[in-house]
């Protein structure tokens, strides 16, 4: 009997592809070409499953054009690139990759927040430029992290892991805003207090954004919100581009409306708003918050576990462990 065919959209670790080859005829992408939607549709013809990352859009047009597709398995936790209701309507199961990247992503969010607060990137550029000629009392004096107020916008798994670092490691006072409040026991463990969005913006010394992207979170932080923040505050975004209005943020940084920012995600990435590239008080990284090698491997393995199970193989046949719409099966 011939094996079902699957597509791996981007270059991944060779042993990941080998695991898929045990069950499937695999077309992979070792040269890591970013396929256009039309190329993706063409390669998906006759494929029962697809391994994607957080960057391939999966929409109705693609689903209509690929009637044999049964499973879309992503190695990202965020799934705003996938139209899950459309997949369900087409009988296509979708999975994401939660939990395995929580701690690594929280580590990075904390690092970016600290780099912004303590002006690490800005001062490193100064040193590398050869401009360092003497010690000065206020050179690159930033803001303290320990004992400050940490504001978390979006208190899911990663938000809670950031809060835990702040509260337990740095003695920070933690406030958060989320549509739903945490259980009282978790609030007590994290020492976290729910506040409305306006209070979060006004009271945070360091605001970390960890909310999923959706139409409702588009430009959740723009000029009006930035105007509420303290001039000494920092803003860190490790969630998705588009949640922060990047043009408004660049202006606020230039005007010193807020002190500094740390950004791992951008509207329209991999393009970055040109004004962000010229303001000095922002640390910019290319969407790498989950990028420790063990975590990227764990994310890819989880997507493979899901793909194997969704197409009826392995120990969890028929029950992909982190399906978002198991009812589609
Ligand atoms: C990934 C992410 O690097 O998991 C997510 O939602 O944004 C990142 O961890 C990327 O999307 C992997 O495809």
pLDDT tens digits, 14-44: 999 999 999 999 999 999 999 999 999 999 9
Q: Which of 76, 13, 33 is nearest to 306 (CA)?
A: 76
The whole-model pTM stands at 0.97
Ligand 1 centre from 274 Cα, in Å?
Answer: 23
pLDDT in tens, 280-297: 999 999 999 999 999 999
Q: Which of 49, 137, 83, 78 is nearest to 299 (CA)?
A: 78
Residue 193: beta bridge partners? Answer: 175
Mean predicted confidence (pLDDT) in 243-253: 98
> Is the previous residue joined to 270 through a cis bond, with omega within 30 degrees of 0?
yes
Are residue 18 and residue 123 in the same domain, yes or no? no
Are residue 110 and residue 242 in the same domain, yes or no? yes
Are residue 65 and residue 127 in the same domain, yes or no? no
Best mutation site among 34, 58, 287, 304 for ligand 1 pocket (most ligand atoms within 8 Å of CB): 287
Judge whether residue 1 has pLDDT over 80: no
Residue 71: beta bridge partners? Answer: 49, 93
The arrangement of strands across the sheet holding 234-237 comes to 192-194, 173-177, 149-153, 206-209, 234-237, 260-263, 282-284
Are residue 92 and residue 108 in the same domain, yes or no? no
Q: What's the pLDDT score for residue 168? A: 96
Looking from the CA of residue 97, the nearest atom of ligand 1 is 4
The arrangement of strands across the sheet holding 71-74 comes to 25-27, 5-8, 49-52, 71-74, 93-95
Ligand 1 centre from 97 Cα, in Å?
Answer: 9
Are residue 302 and residue 243 in the same domain, yes or no? no
Are the CB atoms for 40 and 20 separated by under 8 Å?
no
CATH code for position 111: 3.40.50.720
How far is 208 from 205, CA to CA, in rounded Å?
Answer: 10
Ligand 1 centre from 230 Cα, in Å?
Answer: 30
Range of 65's domain?
Answer: 5-100+293-328
Mean predicted confidence (pLDDT) in 72-76: 98
What percent of the chain has a predicted confidence (pLDDT) above 70? 100
Looking from the CA of residue 105, the nearest atom of ligand 1 is 9
What percent of the chain has a predicted confidence (pLDDT) above 90? 100
Are residue 198 and residue 122 in the same domain, yes or no? yes
Q: Inter-axis angle of helices 157-164 and 102-117, to 10 degrees?
A: 50
Are residue 35 and residue 82 in the same domain, yes or no? yes
Cα-based angle 324, 92, 15 (whole degrees, multiple of 5): 75
DSSP tag of 275: H
Residues with CB under 6 A from ligand 1: 53-54, 75-78, 101, 287, 290
H/E stretch holding 226 reads helix 223-228
Are residue 133 and residue 278 in the same domain, yes or no? yes
Catalytic residues: 240, 269, 287
CA-nearest residue for atom 1, ligand 1, is 76
Q: How many domains does the structure of the chain reveal?
A: 2
Are residue 92 and residue 218 in the same domain, yes or no? no
């Amino acid at each position: 009997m011939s094996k079902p065919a699957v597509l791996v959209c981007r270059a991944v670790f060779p042993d990941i592809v080998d695991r898929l080859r045990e069950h499937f005829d695999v077309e992979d992408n070792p040269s890591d070409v970013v396929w256009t939607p039309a190329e993706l549709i063409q390669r998906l013809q006759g494929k029962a499953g697809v391994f994607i990352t957080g960057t391939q859009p999966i929409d109705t047009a693609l689903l209509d054009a690929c009637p044999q597709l049964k499973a879309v398995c992503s190695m990202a936790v965020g799934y705003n690139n996938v139209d899950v209701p459309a997949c369900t309507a087409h009988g296509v199961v979708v999975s994401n990759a939660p939990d395995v990247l929580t701690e690594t992503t929280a580590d990075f969010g904390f690092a970016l927040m600290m780099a912004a607060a303590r002006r690490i990137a800005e001062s490193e550029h100064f040193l590398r430029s050869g401009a360092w000629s003497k010690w000065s009392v206020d050179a690159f004096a930033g803001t303290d992290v320990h004992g400050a107020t940490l504001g978390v916008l979006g208190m899911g798994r990663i938000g809670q892991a950031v809060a835990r670092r702040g509260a337990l490691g740095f003695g920070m006072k933690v406030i958060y805003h989320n549509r739903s409040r945490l259980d009282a026991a978790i609030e007590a463990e994290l020492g976290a207090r729910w506040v409305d969005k306006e209070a979060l913006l006004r009271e945070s010394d360091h605001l970390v954004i960890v909310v999923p992207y959706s139409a409702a979170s588009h430009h959740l932080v723009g000029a009006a919100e930035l105007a509420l923040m303290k001039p000494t505050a920092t803003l860190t975004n490790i969630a998705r581009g588009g949640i922060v209005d990047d043009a408004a943020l660049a202006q606020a940084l230039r005007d010193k409306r807020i002190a500094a920012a740390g950004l791992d995600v951008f509207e329209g990435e991999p393009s970055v708003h040109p004004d962000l590239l010229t303001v000095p008080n922002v640390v910019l990284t290319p969407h790498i918050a989950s990028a420790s090698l063990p975590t990227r491997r764990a994310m890819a393995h989880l997507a493979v576990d899901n793909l194997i199970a969704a197409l009826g193989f392995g120990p969890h046949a028929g029950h992909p462990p982190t399906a978002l719409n198991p009812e589609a099966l």
